[in-house]
A and B are shown apart, each in its own frame.
Chain A
Amino acid sequence: MKHILVSFMEGIKNVWATKYLIGIMLIFKLVTSLILGVPLYLMFSTSFAANIKASNFLTGFNPSLVIDFVYYWRRTLSIYVFMFILTSILIIIAYIFLSGGFWGVLRDQAKRRVKDTPTVTSGSGTEGFFAACGKYFGGMFKIGLLMIPLYLFAFLIWLIFIAILGMVVGEGSLWVLTSWRTISKILIALILYFCCNMLGDYLRIFMLEKEDDHIWVVIRKAFRFVWTNLSSTLCLYYLLSIILVGVILFYGGMYKLVSGISPTGIFIFIAFLLQQLFVVFHSFYRLIFYSSQMSLYVRISDRDDHPGEDLDFKMEMRGE
């Protein structure tokens, strides 16, 4: 268990040492959300800024205003939805570009910490970051495409699970959220999603490490790595996920507290700050996901390359 915690702590340290990555992630989210949001802001201010009834929104959701809003803007909204989808695709591509930089910088950081390997990315700071973005874009893009059939395959497994569940215990009500049937469906979906997501992360790590290999070789190596070290990779991933869920729940509670008392100016601002703090946190935390898993990989591969150096660590890893 120790090496998982060590990887996790190292992950945090590595992200902290490269704080500018958080800044880049944050700016990316703010800018893209702003691009998606500006048309909404313009429509909102046209319909609601000088509208007495809009004060209803301060105390809750007013379906009448929203229904009429949608009807009035229906033509604009249909264009907006189209543009929204298009922009979203561009955002995904932009993120694939940036992710090369995130992974590249964090990999160097992890290696430096574990075994003082010279930096792989040329330059330092943002210069090195963007160099890595460009360098790994092709590979990251291929992995992005590869994730589509992977998720489809997971979805298929989920459908088979549901079918078996239906055959064994009969169809239940979809809406009784508390029934064990629904809970097990959601749990299986989450587990499958997490597995795919984790596999994606290790694929990226191996793509960075074995950059001269063919993509299929990378896939094979990544899958083999995850499989042979399944307990470690899964444990680390679930440790990360559980902490994230905890923070989300905490945030939800805090937000409910603030939004409950937010009819005017200053409270709207506080609620907004809280939201943005959460965005900062999940930007930070995503990088921790990346870098913890990177640390785990570097540690395992380093010990595999130099057997006997840290017997305790290795034995524990193999479950002996």
Chain B
Amino acid sequence: MEELSRTRVWVLRGLFLAFVLISWELSSGRLASEFFISRPTAIAAMFWDWVVSGKIFYHGAITLLEAVAGFLLGGLIGMIIGVWLGRAELVAEVLDPFIMMFYSLPKVALAPLFVLWFGIGIDMKILLTATIVFFLVFLNTYTGVRAVSREQIAILRLMGANERHVLFKVVLPSAVTWVFTGLRLSVPYALIGAIVGELIASNRGLGYLLADSAGQFDTTGVFTALIGIMIMAFCLNAAVKLLEIKAMPWRETNSKREMSI
């Protein structure tokens, strides 16, 4: 029963994709000029070209490095500061309005400033990405640490738990759910950071391929670069999901178990 409906979903997905691609292919040159919308076959051919020549891997690797390094850096600092502020109530109270002010700033608006400070090298993209990811992970971690159940802490305290026990046995595990929400939200933003950085100033990376193709009025190249970015986003998302399942086995049993009230 379960298995059957899964295959069915996949078949329907395949049909949907085929429908979109075929309509695109057919309308190209008929309903809209090929110059603007290119066509799937041309994109596939170019993608294959880039794969064979290694172009996509070279530029993809650079974007991936920026996104992942920024993601890890921002995520790590976000978690540490989130846990710390979540425990230090006074500091959190004092800093709250400033954090919120900074949070509401669209972080990509910092890009020009970062170019001034750090140049146009890879470190500028990593730092831009890290800044974006930091806030998402920080805020989620902070919320998670604040949302920890006081009852659970009290129960452990009665058993003679010290600060360290409370932190590692209750606070952190209960915040993990929130941390991962932050991390999952951060994946697309990490790519935004890296690619915006490349669009602004770079001669490498998928963002550069995108800008370069657009500069030459090569729509097919633009679409091919976009597809490369999409594939990368998909892989990063899958990686975080996998990590999430590994880190929170109780969550998986929760979603896998049959519903009962």
A and B are partners in one complex rather than unrelated chains: no
Chain A residues close to B by CB (< 8 Å): none
